[in-house]
Amino acid sequence: GTPGESMFVVCSGQAAVMLEGQRTPIATIEQGGYFGEMSLLTGDPRTATVVAKGDVVVLEIGADVFRQLADLNPRAVEQVGVAAAARRADLEGVRASIQAAAVLEAPTSFMSRMRKFLNI
């Protein structure tokens, strides 16, 4: 992903969180939820894609505004950081599960392709 300069708060509607190369959402963000904070807080590239599920209204909070909020309310920013750390751990767990499933599926997939090719 690319580095993010902002985060987003869902004001209305829902959005699905997708990992690269996956078709199944790993989470849904609803009204009051937010996304994009991990990249904003660390400068790391974005780790997931968020897709609107129907009509969605979001509020974009840029890095400059976020810094101003941090000056005004450091505790709130700390809470966002704690939540981001938990999300990152969850995301890494989901990625590990997907990779493990792919490794387990690989022999079955190969055997299926082989049988089809050999007509057996």
Give the Cα separation of 82 and 58 in Å (integer): 22
pLDDT score at 87: 82
Q: How many CB atoms lie within 10 A of CB 58?
A: 19
Q: Binning pLDDT at 50, 70 and 90, where does residue 102 land?
A: low
* Residue 12: strand, helix, or coil: strand
Say if residue 4's pLDDT is above 80: yes
pTM for this structure? 0.68
Question: Spelled out in words, what is the top-level CATH class assigned to the domain 6-118?
Answer: mainly beta
Lowest mean pLDDT, pick from 5-14, 73-82, 87-96: 87-96
d(CA 76, CA 31): 18
